[in-house]
Copies of this chain bind each other. A is one copy, B any other.
Amino acid sequence: MKISEIAEFTNGKLVGAGDIEIFRVAALETARANEISFLEKTEFAEQAAQTKAACLFVPENFDASVPCPFIRVVNPKLAFAVIAEQLHSHTRKNSRNETAIVPQSSDVRASFIGAFVSIGENTYIGEAANILDGVKIGNNVSIGKCSIIHPNCVIYDDVSIGDDCVIHAGTIIGADGFGFVRDGERGYVKFPQIGTVVIEDEVEIGANSCIDRGALGETRIGAGTKIDNLVQIAHNVRIGKRVVIAAQTGISGSTVIEDDCIIGGQVGMGDHATVKSGAVIGSQAGVLPGKIVRAGVWWGTPVQPLDEYKRQNAHLKSIGRLKEEVKELKKQASDSVEKNRS
């Protein structure tokens, strides 16, 4: 893409020559010829003055001197990400490895099927999907167009994945939920885990995560939601649209996370909790079963509004001094009793 085309694509105002071809995005310090970078805030202008990039995205109010053409945009980081998507395609060239197992009963239109892939019966995979090496897909699965399933993922029977999803390596979708009924001294009998998983469009899930199937109903991940590595989503969880969940967080059964929430890393949520739209939950927080978390910023175990959490932490730090003060008061009181006696 030429610089002028990039400016047009990102609705930016180009200052300087627009005819140089851009091949890659790169960081401000490492960008070289034919690479574009970005300046997140005008304060970093000094750094920008040193850049060897071919072009920069800059904030709209940017007015310093840089040694290359630049493009003024509302959100330079966003423009950079948008252009990176154009320049760095993740799809592979059309091919179907001869070792892949694709039964006749399945309708597999994917443009790339890697080595040692196995696909079950009555499964549908849409156009331009990429199923990478070692992926195992069960029966009656549906995977939408342009989705990428990275190596060694396992998709159990009956799971549905939308269009434009990315599932990173080693992630398991549709394993049995964790539900057992105690039968006295005999131990546990498995509660049926015969539901399914529905993943809507444009969902990205990191590596080695687990999305369990519903016990009787479904587990659902809403469109545009982004989930990091090593995350656990239990049976019958319902996650809304555009939710972000960082690494190693675990969501227990039947919990609901509404649209546009942000959940930090290593958060634990009990079952049947509800996180209302717009809530932000800090890392390592713990949400009790059945708890309703409203919009706002939350932290701690059990989870509480961030302000309260901070105040409590400050209080905690002050106990030592408080003890000293009480000791002193007791001494005064006892002295005063002594004095009154004498």
Q: Which residues from chain A sit less than 8 Å from chain B, CB to CB?
A: 24-27, 30, 75, 77-78, 80-82, 84-85, 88, 97, 99, 101, 114-116, 118, 132-134, 136, 150-152, 154, 156, 166, 168-170, 172, 175-176, 178, 180-183, 187-192, 194, 202, 204, 206-210, 212, 216-217, 223-224, 226, 228-230, 232, 234, 241-242, 244, 246-248, 250, 252, 265-266, 268, 270, 283-284, 286, 301-302, 311-313, 315-320, 322-323, 325-326, 329-330, 332-333, 336
Contact A333 B330 (CB under 8 A): no
Contact A151 B151 (CB under 8 A): no
Q: Which residues of B contact A178 (CB under 8 A)?
A: 206, 226, 228-229, 246-247
Q: Which residue of A175, A202, A209, A316 has the most chain B CB atoms within 10 A of its CB atom? A: A175
Known contacts A118-B116, A265-B252, A326-B329, A244 near B188 by CB under 8 Å: yes
- If A84-B191, A315-B323, A325-B326 are given as contacts, then 12 extra A-B residue pairs at C-beta distance below 8 Å, sorted by A number, are A75-B183, A99-B101, A172-B208, A172-B229, A175-B207, A176-B206, A180-B226, A187-B223, A187-B241, A190-B204, A206-B210, A265-B268
Contact A134 B115 (CB under 8 A): no
Q: Which residues of B contact A132 (CB under 8 A)?
A: 136
Count this chain's copies in the assembly.
3
Contact B320 A322 (CB under 8 A): no
Q: Which residues of B contact A26 (CB under 8 A)?
A: 216
Q: CB < 8 Å: which of B85, B118, B206, B326 contacts A326?
A: B326
Q: Which residues of B contact A216 (CB under 8 A)?
A: 25-27, 30
Contact A25 B268 (CB under 8 A): no
Shortest Cβ gap from A116 to chain B (Å):
5
Contact A206 B330 (CB under 8 A): no
Residue of B nearest to A313 (CB): B302
Q: Which residues of B contact A202 (CB under 8 A)?
A: 187
Q: Which residue of A24, A26, A168 has the most chain B CB atoms within 10 A of its CB atom? A: A168
Contact A326 B319 (CB under 8 A): no
Contact A150 B134 (CB under 8 A): no
Contact B154 A152 (CB under 8 A): yes
Contact B329 A333 (CB under 8 A): yes
Cα A99 to Cα B183 with chains together (Å): 41
- Can you name 15 A-B pairs with beta carbons within 8 Å? A75-B181, A88-B194, A118-B134, A132-B136, A134-B136, A150-B154, A150-B156, A178-B247, A187-B242, A190-B204, A208-B209, A230-B250, A250-B266, A315-B323, A329-B329
Q: CB < 8 Å: which of B88, B172, B247, B315 contacts A207?
A: B172
Contact B320 A319 (CB under 8 A): no
Q: Which residues of B contact A223 (CB under 8 A)?
A: 187
Shortest Cβ gap from A153 to chain B (Å):
8
Contact B323 A318 (CB under 8 A): yes
Q: Which residues of B contact A78 (CB under 8 A)?
A: 181-183, 189
Q: Which residues of B contact A326 (CB under 8 A)?
A: 322, 325-326, 329
Residue of B nearest to A332 (CB): B333
Contact B169 A175 (CB under 8 A): yes
Contact A82 B189 (CB under 8 A): yes
Contact A175 B333 (CB under 8 A): no
Q: Which residues of B contact A133 (CB under 8 A)?
A: 118, 136
